[in-house]
């Protein structure tokens, strides 16, 4: 189907190559260890008139190197709700993806093609100067993103108490695999911390914010975010929304503590949810790294286990940075 034929069916004007408006906008990437609160930060940026926040994550690193990246992208079930099979919107997006995706494309180029596809059905407002792409695991490809997309790109990394992150992830674990899962989680969190602290030192385009500060002092943190992104301050930055509608996603325990929809209920929830062995185990392994971010624990450091964990974390971080150095 040609662009013209599809335009007749969908009512969306055909676009040859990247749209002029999107090409003039600069990128914002929201990254971090999974379950760290990146969705809250994205929701807080959603309503700002200078920011275009698409409703979906690209997960570009998962499919960009496929032989048929468009097919690999469309095979992911996470997009079925946003783009129902057989819908005109899905046809339009698939058409643009197959036009713009190329085998072996870099993650940065894959993100741009993904955004172009979404913009074909939900274009950014005329006032938007930046687009926001939230995929937590793209923390590992920050060098590639910064190298390919230029000095105006910005990255915001959300850091959260690893005990709270572990509690969120542990709900999905199979019974009987908690100790093994905890050690694997600690290595991944430590690797993420190695990358976060390195990028924070090396790149002025990279800003790290704590989830706890975002919940307890949203205006202060979001003013720092607005300055980092070079957008004007707007009170909407303290009101989480999704596609313009109020969003209470971090209030999943049923309590709305603030008019903004931001709840602090879950901040210490891990103390009740995590078994004592898991809570102590992750604290012993990660205590020095936790202390860097202001997360205190009474547990003594497990020196031998921590030495091994640190070695594995640095090795993993080195492999990631070598592969995605840009």
pLDDT tens for each residue of 31-68: 999 999 999 999 999 999 999 999 889 999 998 888 88
pLDDT at 293: 97
Q: H/E element holding 45?
A: helix 38-45
Domain that holds residue 277: 26-54+127-323
Residues ≥6 apart with Cβ < 8 Å to 3 = 14, 15, 16, 95
Q: Does a structural domain hold residue 73?
A: no
Residue 62's DSSP bridge partners are: none
Residue 210's DSSP bridge partners are: 159
Q: Does a structural domain hold residue 246?
A: yes
How far apart CA 124 and CA 122 sit, in angstroms, is: 7
Which CATH number does the domain housing residue 288 bear? 3.40.50.300
pTM of the model: 0.89
User: What is the residue-wise DSSP string for 2-39?
Assistant: -HHHHHHHH-PPP-SSS-HHHHHSEEEEEE-STTSSHH
Which of helix, strand or coil describes residue 181? Answer: helix
Q: Does a structural domain hold residue 18?
A: no
Q: Does a structural domain hold residue 212?
A: yes
Q: For residue 90, what are the CA distances in angstroms to 67, 79, 83?
A: 21, 10, 5
The total of structural domains in the chain comes to 1
* Separation of CA 47 from chain center: 17
- Cα Dmax for the chain: 67
Q: HSE-up of 163 (CA within 13 Å, CB side)?
A: 31
Q: Does a structural domain hold residue 192?
A: yes
Phi, psi (5° rounding) for residue 267?
Answer: -60, -40
As a dihedral over the C-alpha atoms of residue 249, residue 254, residue 259, residue 263, rounded to 10 degrees, the angle is: -60
pLDDT at 178: 67
Is residue 189 within 8 Å of 137, Cβ to Cβ? Answer: no
pLDDT at 112: 93
Q: Does a structural domain hold residue 66?
A: no
Is residue 308 within 8 Å of 294, Cβ to Cβ? Answer: no
Is residue 155 within 8 Å of 41, Cβ to Cβ? Answer: no
How far apart CA 192 and CA 196 sit, in angstroms, is: 6
Is residue 285 within 8 Å of 179, Cβ to Cβ? Answer: no
Q: Does a structural domain hold residue 6?
A: no
Residue 134's DSSP bridge partners are: 30
pLDDT at 51: 98
How far apart CA 181 and CA 170 sit, in angstroms, is: 8
pLDDT at 260: 53
Give average pLDDT by consecutive 10-residue segment, the chain, 326 residues: 47 53 94 95 96 92 89 82 82 87 88 91 93 96 94 97 90 64 91 97 97 96 98 96 81 47 83 85 90 85 76 93 79
How far apart CA 135 and CA 64 sit, in angstroms, is: 14
pLDDT tens for each residue of 222-248: 999 999 999 999 999 999 998 888 887
């Amino acid at each position: 189907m040609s662009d013209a034929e599809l335009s007749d069916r969908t009512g969306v004007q055909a676009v040859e190559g990247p749209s002029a408006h999107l090409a003039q906008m600069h990128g914002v990437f929201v990254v971090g260890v999974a379950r760290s609160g990146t969705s809250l930060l994205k929701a807080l940026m959603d309503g700002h008139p200078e920011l275009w926040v698409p409703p979906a994550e690209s997960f570009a690193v998962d499919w960009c190197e496929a032989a048929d990246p468009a097919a690999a992208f469309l095979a992911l079930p996470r997009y079925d709700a946003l783009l129902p099979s057989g819908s005109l919107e899905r046809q339009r997006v698939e058409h643009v993806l197959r036009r713009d995706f190329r085998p072996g494309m870099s993650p940065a180029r894959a993100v741009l093609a993904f955004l172009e596809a979404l913009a074909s059905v939900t274009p950014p407002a005329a006032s938007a100067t930046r687009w926001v792409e939230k995929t937590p695991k793209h923390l590992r490809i920050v060098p590639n993103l910064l190298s390919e997309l230029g000095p105006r790109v910005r990255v915001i990394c959300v850091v959260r108490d690893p005990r709270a992150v572990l509690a969120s992830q542990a709900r999905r674990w199979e019974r009987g695999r908690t100790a093994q899962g905890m050690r694997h989680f600690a290595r991944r969190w430590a690797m993420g911390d190695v990358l976060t602290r390195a990028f924070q030192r090396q790149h002025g385009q990279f800003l790290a914010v704590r989830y706890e500060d975002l919940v307890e002092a949203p205006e202060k943190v979001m003013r720092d975010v607005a300055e980092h992104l070079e957008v004007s301050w707007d009170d909407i930055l303290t009101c989480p929304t999704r596609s313009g509608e109020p969003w209470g996603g971090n209030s999943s325990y049923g309590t709305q503590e603030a008019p903004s929809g931001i709840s602090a209920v879950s901040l210490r929830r891990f103390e009740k949810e995590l078994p004592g062995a898991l809570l102590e185990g992750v604290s012993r392994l990660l205590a020095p790294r936790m202390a860097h971010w202001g997360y205190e624990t009474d547990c003594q450091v497990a020196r031998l286990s921590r030495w091994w964990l640190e070695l594995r974390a640095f090795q993993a971080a080195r492999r990631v940075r070598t592969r995605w150095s840009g």
